[in-house]
A and B are shown apart, each in its own frame.
Chain A
Amino acid sequence: MNPIAHSPHAHAPVSIGKVMATVLLALTPATLFSFWLYGWPAVNLWAVSLIAAILGEAFVVRMQGRKVRPVLMDGSGILTAWLLALSLPPYAPWWIAVLGSLFAVIIGKQVFGGLGQNVFNPAMAARVMLLISFPLEMTTWVAPSQAPGLLESLRITFFSQPIDGMASASLLGHVKTEFTRGIGLDQALTGYYAPLDMLWGSRAGSLGETAAVLLLLGGLFLIARRIITWHAPVAMLLGVAVPALLFNTIDANHYAGPMVHLLSGGLMLGAFFIITDPVTSPNTAMGQFIFGLGCGLLTWIIRTWGGYPEGVAFAVLLMNAATPIIDQYVKPRIYGRDRKGAALAVKKES
């Protein structure tokens, strides 16, 4: 006989696996687009990331004496590797992907105790580790002009063939470089910033961060499917756009406008797919809004005054660290109690 089961004796048709699969589905259009844009090297990098994450996670879970299958089947390791791959430069060598993926699933997640236990977003932790350790490989961008053939792509990914004549800079990187040469925004952006191209992704950047529209659509799909809510993404976009607008109005030659910021770098990927990671973000709507706002503001600050041209990954990690304290102070009001938790007053008959 089955043990006595507790109510409820019904369950919504949901599971962790389905949640992860829906997120992967939402990422697919932007990913396929980046494959088309950058060709085979992007496919290689994506595949290597996923394989490394799966094998690495299986290995450590086995070492812990736990069952490997359920851990792999929840899809969280694949999602982490997928997000990491999308944040890498498309022509990065294979070992960048392997190192990043292993760091993400092992150091970023399993060391903390596995799914649901990690403090920092594993993909972003891995990206920051790579950026700090291998700045050259992590900032060698290419303009998405002529996609190389399969054979050539294998040479690029696996034998680090130099990419002559194709190297380019991302918009944010370019602007930062121009600033150091004392050149203002008006000149720096000329011929470099075309809003439509930014929107559709025909520009230099990480594998998955370029197709802003497709990422936005993926995010809206997740909101519609109730996998995520609007709070964190909208707050992050506001956190970047509002100060950008303010400072751009004051001094347009030194501060890029909101559209440049919104369509640049990893902002769309970050807003809809990274900071909505439930494990490392607060668990109330208000908390998520504050979290998103913090991520946006820090991103803008790092982009504007920091040493790195892009700040999404750093901003996310900093706000991840703030998540427990946000959760400590932002809690829903309980029925029959006031915000401080005291019972509501008894209504006396007049």
Chain B
Amino acid sequence: MKLFDLRGGVHPEGNKDLSAERHIRTLPLPKKLYVPLQQHIGAPATPVVKVGDKVLKGQLIATAQGAVSAPIHAPTSGTITALGDHVAPHPSGLPVPTITLESDGEDKWMPIETVDKPFSLRPEEVAARVAAAGIVGLGGATFPSALKLNLSRNSGVQTLIMNGGECEPYLTCDDRIMRERAAGIVEGIRLIAHAVAAKEILVGIEDNKPEAIAAMQTAAGNSEVKIVVMPSMYPMGSEKQIIQVLTGMEIPAGGRPADIGVLVHNVATAFAVQQAVRYGKPLISRIVTLSGGAIRTACNVEALVGTPVQELIDFADGYAQPAARLVLGGPMMGQQFTNTNVPVVKGTSGVLALMASEIGHAEASPCIRCSTCVRACPVGLLPLEMAAHIRTADLAGAVALGLKDCIACGSCSYVCPAHIPLVHFFNYAKGDLAAQERSKLKQEATKKLADARNERLARIERERAEAAAKRKAAREAKERAAKEAAAKAEVV
């Protein structure tokens, strides 16, 4: 198949061989699980259990709230011991609302409903099951999957793209799941295609995963699922980029893939969809890659959602040497964390313990305008110019240069010889911009309320005056009538 050109991109050290040959192993059942209510983009889920409740594995413990949300299920059987705050899988390490579940060690499933002929389900039913299973995008964006299915079905999607790029260094969770569970993934892909009535199915896999490609080709057989080998490059696995390389089309600025008739899902999400639709199993676990130079035994594990990261690190035989930095996700876009009590969530693709030499941190020096960042940017931005504007607090200037089109992939920061933290500048500016827009909205709302109040007061005043005038007129009329009556009486 003909592939299309991408602009920019970088070739970071893959370091996937650390864990790529390790079979997925199931983590021993943890004693306590910390299940955050917000594991997806959108509104946090609302708990439907109380402290002391006994739950079975797979039972609904928090329900979706609002249009963009996803429900959460008990990862194992046991007792709810707390509905409170726990450290978040976020750089801030701030506490977030979390359900604490103490395992009873039995790991007993709730009764589940299997479907023998999943393809006889109507598309809406497939989407409904995906929604009920709490499935979110497992590639890292964690957008509720059912919502994407419904939006895509309504806008008439032609092409379903399955993302097996896994372009982040170190991560091998998608590689392993494609090697070991290809048949399930392919069925999941066909179910997604069924749910959105896609006419073309392309599975893009980077050429650095030959075993995964072979396994997926075998599983796809002669079906409509087409496996496409893509060159290894970062950020090939980014939604915009994988669409571009496979179809030559670009998502219009500010738009969605559905705008050009495309839907993109991650391969691991497809497996979760198959498990949910065929076996009725909600999303309660995921594959996590444990890697980095400071980890003793890099590996891939299937971990229950809510498992403290420390248990994963222990499972990997702890640290070979003190870690200079701990990262959730991949090194290019992952987030640093410091508290190893943070739980695995639906979007946790990797846990990395990196050595200082792997991070390559250096103090920033002046920009020499070498434009390596311009060549690396997959979007076509001028990172050096944007950073210069943000440095002087000229956010409007940065927006004019395309700040809002930045996908924060980190390619520019990665290649900068001056070690300028360019993406940090951009994310800071995006945050500041959002705050400004929020405060502008607030001001507008305040102004609207004040205007309404003034108008209301004026109206009351006006009505009062009118009423007074009416009363006065009535009184005068009465007096006149009395006078006339008196005059008449005199005359008479």
Which stretch, A50-58, A255-263, A332-340, touches the partner chain B? A332-340
| Pair A16/B331 contact, Cβ less than 8 Å | no
Pick the interface stretch among A114-122, A164-172, A311-319.
A114-122
Shortest CB-to-CB span from B13 to chain A, Å, is 7
Which single residue of chain B is at the shortest CB-CB distance from A1? B338
The dominant DSSP class at the B interface is loop
Binds A, one of B224-232, B248-256, B434-442: B248-256
CB <8 Å contact, B335 and A7: yes
A70 touches B327 (CB 8 A): no
Q: Is B260 an interface residue (CB 8 A)?
A: yes
Confirm or deny: A132 has a beta carbon within 8 angstroms of a beta carbon on chain B: no
Contact in complex: B366, A9 (CB < 8 Å): no
* B332 within 8 A of partner (CB): yes
Task: Establish whether residues B374 and A284, one from each chain, have CB atoms under 8 Å apart when the complex forms.
Answer: yes
Number of B positions contacting A (CB below 8 A): 70
Residues in A whose Cβ lies below 8 Å from that of B423: 6-8
1/0 per residue A1-34: CB within 8 Å of B?
1101111111111111011000000000000000
Q: Which residues of A contact B418 (CB under 8 A)?
A: 15-16
Residues facing A in B229-259 (CB within 8 A) are: 240, 244, 249-255, 259
In B366-386, the 8 Å CB interface with A consists of 366-372, 374-375, 377-382, 384-385
Cβ-defined contact, B381 with A332, below 8 A: yes
**Interface assignment of A63: CB less than 8 Å from any CB of chain B:** no
Is B288 positioned at the interface, with any CB of A under 8 Å from its CB?
no
Q: Residue B10 at the A interface, CB < 8 A?
A: yes
SS class, residues of chain A in contact with chain B: loop
Q: Flag A328-347 by CB within 8 Å of B: 1 or 0 each.
A: 00011111110001011111
Q: How far is the CB of B332 from chain A (nearest CB, A)?
A: 5
Cα(A345)–Cα(B230), bound, Å: 27
Q: Are A7 and B371 in contact (CB under 8 A)?
A: no
Determine if A76 is an interface residue (Cβ-Cβ < 8 Å): yes
Instruction: Tell me, in angstroms, the Cα distance from A332 to B359 when the chains sit together.
Output: 30
Instruction: State whether the Cβ of B492 lies closer than 8 Å to any Cβ in chain A.
Output: no
A349 at the interface (CB under 8 A from B): yes
* Chain A proximity of B427: nearest CB distance (Å): 7
Which B residues from 335 to 371 make CB contacts under 8 A with A? 335-336, 338, 352, 354, 358-362, 365-371
> Which residues of the partner chain B approach A8 to less than 8 Å between Cβ atoms?
331-333, 410, 413-414, 423
Q: Is the C-beta of B402 less than 8 angstroms from some C-beta in chain A? A: yes
- Asked if B380 and A334 sit within 8 Å, CB to CB, the answer is yes
Q: Do the beta carbons of A76 and B374 come within 8 Å of each other?
A: no
Find out whether the CB atom of B402 lies under 8 angstroms from the CB atom of A19.
no
Per-residue CB contact flags for chain B residues 302-343 toward chain A (1 = under 8 Å, else 0) read 000000000000000000000001010001111110100000
In the bound complex, what is the Cα–Cα distance between A85 and B240 (angstroms)?
49
- Asked whether B123 is an interface residue with its Cβ less than 8 Å from the other chain, the reply is no
Asked whether, in the complex, the Cβ of A4 is within 8 Å of the Cβ of B378, the reply is no
A8-B423, A10-B332 in contact; A117/B379 too (CB < 8 A)? Answer: no
Q: How far is the CA of A5 from the CA of B402 in the complex (A)?
A: 24
Q: Are B259 and A335 interface neighbours, CB within 8 A?
A: no
Which B residues touch A335, using CB under 8 A?
7, 240, 244, 250-251, 253, 378-380, 405
Contact of B421 among A6, A285, A331 (CB under 8 A): A6
Interface assignment of B80: CB less than 8 Å from any CB of chain A: no
Q: Which residue of B lies closest to A113 (CB)?
A: B366
Contacts of B405 on A, CB cut-off 8 Å? 334-337
When the two chains form their complex, are residues A10 and B365 in contact, meaning their CB atoms are under 8 A apart? Answer: no
Q: What is the minimal beta-carbon distance from A61 to any residue of chain B, in angstroms?
A: 12
Tell me if B118 counts as interface (CB < 8 A to partner A).
no
Q: Which residue from chain B places its CB closest to the CB of A276 in the assembled complex?
A: B370
Which of chain B's residues 256-286 have a Cβ closer than 8 Å to chain A? 259-261
Does A238 reach chain B (CB closer than 8 Å)?
Answer: no
Contact A70 B252 (CB under 8 A): no
Rounded to whole angstroms, the CA-CA distance of A283 and B377 in the bound complex is: 13
CB atoms of B415 and A12 under 8 A apart:
yes
Q: How far is A343 from B254 in the complex, measured between Cα atoms in Å?
A: 7
Cα separation A115 to B365 with both chains bound (whole Å)? 9
Residue contact B369 to A346, C-beta cutoff 8 Å:
no
**CB of B417 within 8 Å of the partner chain:** yes
B 382-406 binary contact with A (CB < 8 Å = 1; else 0): 1011000000000000000010010
Could you tell me if B261 and A347 are in contact, using CB atoms closer than 8 angstroms?
yes
When distances are taken between beta carbons in the complex, the residues of chain B under 8 Å from A279 are: 368-369
User: Which of B334, B369, B385 contacts A7, CB < 8 Å?
Assistant: B334
User: Which chain B residues border A76 with CB–CB below 8 Å?
Assistant: 368
Does any Cβ of B come within 8 Å of A74's Cβ?
Answer: yes
- Cross-chain contact B361 with A6 (CB below 8 angstroms): no
Residues of A within 8 A of B336 (CB): 4-7, 9
Residues of A within 8 A of B354 (CB): 9-10
Q: Which residues does chain B contribute within 8 Å of A19, judged by CB atoms?
A: 368, 370, 417
Interface check A306, CB cutoff 8 A? no
A278 interfacial by beta-carbon distance below 8 Å: yes
Q: In the complex, which residues of chain A have a beta carbon less than 8 angstroms from the beta carbon of B50? A: none
CB distance from B89 to the nearest CB of A (A): 13
The answer to whether B47 has its CB under 8 Å from any CB of chain A is no
Give the residues in chain B near A331, CB-CB below 8 Å: 382
Q: Which chain A residues lie closer than 8 Å to B402 at the CB level?
A: 334, 337, 341
Interface CB pairs A-B, < 8 A, 12: A2-B325, A7-B331, A9-B325, A9-B327, A10-B414, A11-B360, A12-B10, A116-B368, A229-B375, A332-B374, A334-B381, A341-B402
Interface set of B (CB-CB < 8 Å, partner A) = 7, 10, 12-13, 91-92, 155-156, 169, 240, 244, 249-255, 259-261, 325, 327, 331-336, 338, 352, 354, 358-362, 365-372, 374-375, 377-382, 384-385, 402, 405, 408, 410, 413-419, 421, 423-424, 427
Having A9-B327, A115-B365, A334-B253, one finds 12 other A-B pairs with CB under 8 Å, namely: A7-B334, A7-B413, A9-B336, A11-B359, A278-B368, A278-B369, A283-B382, A335-B240, A335-B379, A335-B380, A336-B254, A344-B253
List the 9 closest A-B pairs by CB distance, nearest first: A11-B360, A8-B410, A283-B371, A343-B253, A6-B424, A332-B380, A336-B253, A278-B370, A10-B331
